[in-house]
Structure 1
C-alpha cells in the first residue's frame, strides 16, 4: 500500500517552519512516498514573507486562515470545531493514489487541539513531534491544567511521539505528565549548502559574531552585545550582526543606529542559512532554555561554530572545543571565548571544520528523513507507544 505524508501545524515560525519545509522537501525528493504535503492553519501573526515561501513550495498544500485572537483563544476554538485535517488527508490520498497518510503534527503537545481527528476515508497514522518544551505553569494552575489536557488528547488520539532531543523528555514528563518511554528521539536536520562561513578565515578582516533568532531576553542577545562591547574595548577587531524579530526588535534597531560602525541589525530574515550565516565567523547562542535549535544545525551546515550555553538540547549536539564552545550564561564568559578565538591561531579553523563535520555525519536532513521513514514504518506496524 502506498503511503503519503502530510505535515500539519498551526502558525509555524522560525525553527519549526524551517524544519517542516526542509523535512517535507527531503521526503519528496527521496521518492519513498506517493506524495508529500503541508497543511497549515495560520492567523494574522504569520509573517508575510512566509507567504512567498509557501507559494513556491512544490508540494501538495492545504491552508485555512483565522483571525488574530490570543493564542489560548485560538486553541480553544480549534478544540471546539474540528480542524480540516481529515479532509486534507483524504485530498492528499486522492491526488497521490495513497492508501494511507502519515499526518505529522509539529505543535508538540498543543497539537492536542487537532485531536480527535475527524473521520477520513483514508487510513491515518498520526505522528507528533516535540520541538521544545519551554512551558512552565508554576503559579498558573488553570493554564497548566488546560495544557496537560491538550497533551492527553494527543495520547488518547493515538499520536506516535517524537522529540528533537532527549532533554525535552525530562520537561515533558515533569510539566505535562508524559512518560519518557512514549517518545523516540529524532533530531532536526538542515539541507546541505555549498556556502561556507568565515569571512575572517577568508581574509575578510576582524571577527564577525552573529545572533540569529528570536529577539527576547531569554534568548540572550543582550549578553552577546555586551560581550562584543567588552572585546572591542580590549582593542580587538570584532563586529556583530543580528537577524531576527521579536519583542526586543526596536531596542536592537536603536542600538544599530548608535553603533553602526560595528553593529548591524538585519531584521527578520527568511533564509538565515543562506543569507546570513555564511557572512559570520561564530554564532552566539546565550539562551536560557532551548530544545534543539534549528539555527544551530543550520550553522553547522556552513561550518559556523556556535558559542552557546548548555541549555536544553544544545549540549546533546555541541561538543566543547570541537564544533563550538559551551559557556556560562554571561557576557564575561562569552567575551573570554571570543578573545581566545581572536588570539589563538588556528582555533577558528578547527572549530569551523568540526562544525561542518558534525553536520555531515549526523544532521543532514536526508539522514533525518531516513530516520523518520523508519519511524513511520514502525508506527504502521504498531510497534511504538
Structure 2
C-alpha cells in the first residue's frame, strides 16, 4: 500500500525505539534490518532488548549495528514468561523513551509488544507480533490467556504491523478488529541472498534450521524419517539450532533408532548451513513469515514445508506444494516426491519460486511499509484529537 503525501510528510525524522526480548532468530534479523534501513533513511533509531539471551552471535550483531543507533542500545534482563521483573523492564523502557524523546515505540514479539504498549509515553505505539502469542494452539488455556491479554493491549496500539496475513487473520478471529491502523509488512531479503548456494559434497539428505522446540514440528519430522528409512532409503538428517527441547529431541532420536541417521549442531550462518543439506524441511505447527523459508527459497534450495501461518504467502501460486502440519505421513510423502523428482523438473520449480520471491519480498519495500504504517498512525491520532477538540467546542457553545 503506497503512502499518502500527508503520511510521507509525517514520516520524516522520527525517533524510533525498537523493543523486543530475545536477540535470536527471525525477529532479531527483522529488527536489525529495519534499524539499518531506518537509520539510512535519516531516522534516529535505538534498541532495548534482553541481556541474558543470544550469546556471542547476538553480541556481535548488536555491536555491528550500534554505530547506526543514534538513540543507543540498552540491554536489560527480560523473562520469556510473565514475571515480577517485568515492572523493572517497563520502567527502564519508559525512562529511556523519555530520555531520547522517542516519537515511535515499536514493540516486536509478545513480550516486546507488551512493554512498548504499556510504557507511559506520548510516542506512537506500533506492534509486530512475529507470531508470538498468536502461535499457541487455539483452544488451549495459554492461547485463551494470551488472546485476552492481546485484546487489552490492542486498546493501547496505534499501528498493527503484521508480518503476514496469516497472523493478521488470527488476530481478527481471536481478538477482534482491529480498528487501528493496520499494515501487512512482509519480511524482506537482500538481492545477494538470491545467489544459489553450492551444495557441499557430504551434504545431508534432509536439513532443519531453527529453534529446537516441539512446536516447530520436529517430532513429526523424525517420524517421517523413520517411515522413509523403513522403505530402504538410508537418509540422513542434520538439525541446526538450539532451544528448550533439545534434550527431549535427542532422546527421541535414540528411542526411534535414529542415532546414526540424525545429528545436531549449534546455530550457524544460514547460507553456510544451506550448503550442507539437499532438502530443507520446515515441519512447523505454527509460523508467522519465517525467514528460513524466504532465505532457502531465494537461494533455490529444494523445500518441504507445512501449510501454516504466512508460509502459503511465501509460496504464492505454488502453495499447493505445502503439506498439512501434524502429519508425519504427509511430510514423508512430500519429501519422497522431491527425492524422486527429476533434476530438471526440480531445478525449474525451485528457480520459479526464487523468482517469485524476488518480486514480492524486498528489504526496500519492508522498510517503506513500516514507515508508512507509522505515518498513518500519526495521521489517525491527529484526526482523533481534532474530532475530540471539535466535540469539546460544540459542548461549550451548546
Give the alignment's TM-score, normalised by structure 2: 0.77
Deviation at 1:256, TM superposition (A): 8.6
Q: Structure 1 residues 139 and 4, CA, compared in 2 at 3 Å: closer, same or farther?
A: closer
- Listed as ranges, the gaps of 5+ residues in structure 2 are 1-11, 385-398
Report which stretch shifted further, 159-168 or 55-64: 55-64
Q: Secondary structure at the match of 2:82?
A: helix
The match for 2:241 among 239, 244, 269 is 244
The match for 1:44 among 13, 30, 52 is 52
The match for 2:290 among 282, 293, 299 is 293
Alignment partner of 1:193 is 2:202? no
Deviation at 1:344, TM superposition (A): 2.1
Match of 2:36 in 1: 25
- Listed as ranges, the gaps of 5+ residues in structure 1 are 94-99
CA offset digits 1:261-316 (Å, max 9, x no partner)? 643311233x3x23312333322111222222222222223222331121122222
Maintained 8 Å contact 1:221/1:286: yes
Q: Distance in 2 between matches of 1:150 and 1:336?
A: 38
Deviation at 1:162, TM superposition (A): 1.4
Match of 1:11 in 2: 22
Q: Distance in 1 between matches of 2:62 and 2:320?
A: 33
Q: Structure 1 residues 362 and 279, CA, compared in 2 at 3 Å: closer, same or farther?
A: farther
Maintained 8 Å contact 1:113/1:150: no
Q: Distance in 2 between matches of 1:63 and 1:10?
A: 11
Q: Structure 1 residues 251 and 342, CA, compared in 2 at 3 Å: closer, same or farther?
A: same
What are the within-5 Å matches in structure 2 for residues 66-145 of structure 1?
66=77, 71-74=81-84, 76-77=86-87, 82-85=91-94, 87-88=96-97, 90-91=99-100, 101-108=103-110, 111-119=113-121, 124-132=123-131, 133-135=134-136, 138=139, 140=141, 144=144
Q: Distance in 2 between matches of 1:318 and 1:74?
A: 42
Q: Distance in 2 between matches of 1:324 and 1:303?
A: 18
Q: Secondary structure at the match of 1:332?
A: helix
Q: Distance in 1 between matches of 2:95 and 2:109?
A: 17
Q: Distance in 2 between matches of 1:170 and 1:290?
A: 13
Q: Distance in 2 between matches of 1:359 and 1:4?
A: 31
Judging by fraction of residues, say which structure has more helix: 2
What are the within-5 Å matches in structure 2 for residues 202-351 of structure 1?
204=201, 208-236=205-233, 238-253=235-250, 255=253, 262-269=261-268, 271=269, 273-319=270-316, 322=318, 325-329=321-325, 330-345=327-342, 346-351=344-349
Q: Structure 1 residues 379 and 278, CA, compared in 2 at 3 Å: closer, same or farther?
A: farther
Match of 2:378 in 1: 380
Give the alignment's TM-score, normalised by structure 1: 0.79
Q: Structure 1 residues 298 and 23, CA, compared in 2 at 3 Å: closer, same or farther?
A: farther
Match of 1:155 in 2: 155
Cα RMSD, aligned residues only: 3.5
Q: Secondary structure at the match of 2:321?
A: strand
Deviation at 1:326, TM superposition (A): 0.6
Q: Distance in 1 between matches of 2:60 and 2:246?
A: 23
| Higher alpha-carbon Rg | 2
The match for 2:13 among 2, 26, 30 is 2
Q: Distance in 2 between matches of 1:245 and 1:261?
A: 20
Q: Secondary structure at the match of 1:128?
A: strand
Deviation at 1:83, TM superposition (A): 3.2
Maintained 8 Å contact 1:303/1:355: yes
Q: Secondary structure at the match of 1:44?
A: coil
Q: Distance in 2 between matches of 1:62 and 1:349?
A: 44
Q: Structure 1 residues 197 and 261, CA, compared in 2 at 3 Å: closer, same or farther?
A: farther
Q: Distance in 1 between matches of 2:264 and 2:220?
A: 16
Match of 1:354 in 2: 352
